[in-house]
């Protein structure tokens, strides 16, 4: 059966790749974001896969507008079966260089946007006792890094919100599921459009993955939503495990390396667009697409993801192998 999927932040980056991946697998897709140029281009990609696409321009920081968007999607495409929260904005700067209104705006979009959208679609899903909400997270939902205080704060907030909501749904024995996908560094356009006060061009902390890696993880999570969260990429696993065991040591490591690791050797462009208050594709009609400028340094696949998506099979094979070795050892003793 064809599913109706809604993706926020679908005009570029992860959201754009996620929308394309769902369409490729046979879903109709509602595309939500502010930037209409990117939305129309994303819709064309969905339709190229033979699926229906609905463009819904909306600022997720406006709770009323998000509720109206949900109503429109359900009336034009049908009941929403999967909702993906992904829209965000941020500021690359030291904490002291971020104005209070900028911090508020990042929080309203990158955290409260998830809350508003979840609330709006959950009302529909609860009535049907069916549906899945995927929260696109980050390794930074657990591990804060310098120059991203606003973004890290929002991702940490999403993590707490997600856990609390998941427990409530479990208590209700609901068939509505929420899951979260913690992402690694990705080659998305955000590093060319997020408000930056860094002296050099911002970059993701290597190693970098292509957004299609993230898209496959989101679709897999939507298809297997009973797991509370998914970690994507070996670096995410290593970071979160290190943070759980030696967080103080990681603090000192990031204090030494975190500033340079998030900047290239090139100066920040003076004419770089800023999407904090307005969509980056609004001024000149530019479509940024799913990919950023770091394609030559980015990995198209993740071995960790391959194993994570085949966990039962891998675990079963490992169990059989261990049992075989144990049986062989017993026979040798005999």
Catalytic residues: 151
Tokens of 97: 């260089």
In whole angstroms, give the CA distance from residue 10 to residue 30. Answer: 9
In whole angstroms, give the CA distance from residue 13 to residue 9. Answer: 8
Write down the residue that tokens 């929420």 correspond to.
Answer: 178
Q: What backbone torsions phi and psi does residue 41 show, to the nearest 5 degrees?
A: -65, -40
Tokens of 21: 């991946």
Other beta carbons less than 10 A from residue 86's beta carbon: 29
Other beta carbons less than 10 A from residue 300's beta carbon: 10
Tokens of 74: 């359900």
Closest by CA position to 180, among listed 222, 139, 136 = 136
């Amino acid at each position: 059966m064809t599913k109706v999927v809604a993706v926020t932040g679908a005009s570029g980056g992860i959201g754009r790749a996620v929308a394309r991946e769902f369409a490729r697998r046979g879903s109709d897709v509602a595309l939500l974001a502010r930037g209409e140029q990117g939305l129309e281009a994303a819709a064309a990609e969905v339709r190229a896969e033979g699926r229906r696409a609905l463009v819904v321009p909306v600022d997720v920081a406006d709770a009323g507008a998000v509720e109206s968007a949900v109503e429109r999607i359900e009336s034009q495409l049908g009941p929403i079966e999967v909702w993906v929260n992904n829209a965000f904005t941020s500021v690359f700067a030291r904490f002291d260089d971020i104005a209070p209104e900028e911090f508020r705006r990042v929080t309203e979009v990158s955290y409260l946007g998830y809350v508003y959208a979840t609330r709006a679609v959950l009302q529909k899903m609860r009535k049907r006792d069916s549906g899945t909400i995927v929260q696109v997270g980050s390794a930074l939902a657990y591990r804060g890094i310098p120059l991203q205080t606003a973004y890290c704060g929002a991702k940490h907030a999403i993590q707490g919100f997600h856990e609390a909501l998941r427990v409530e749904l479990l208590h209700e024995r609901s068939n509505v599921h929420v899951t979260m996908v913690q992402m690694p560094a990705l080659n998305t356009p955000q590093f060319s459009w997020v408000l930056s006060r860094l002296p050099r061009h911002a970059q993701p902390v290597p190693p970098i993955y292509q957004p299609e890696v993230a898209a496959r993880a989101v679709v897999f999570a939507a298809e297997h939503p009973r797991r509370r969260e998914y970690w994507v990429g070996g670096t995410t696993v290593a970071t979160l495990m290190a943070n759980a065991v030696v967080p103080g040591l990681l603090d000192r490591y990031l204090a030494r390396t975190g500033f340079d690791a998030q900047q290239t050797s090139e100066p920040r462009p003076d004419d770089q667009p800023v999407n904090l208050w307005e969509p980056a594709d609004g001024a000149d009609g530019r479509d940024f697409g799913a990919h950023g400028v770091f394609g030559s340094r980015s990995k198209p696949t993740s071995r960790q993801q391959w194993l994570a998506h085949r966990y039962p099979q891998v675990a079963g094979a490992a169990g059989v192998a261990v049992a075989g070795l144990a049986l062989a050892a017993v026979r040798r003793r005999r």
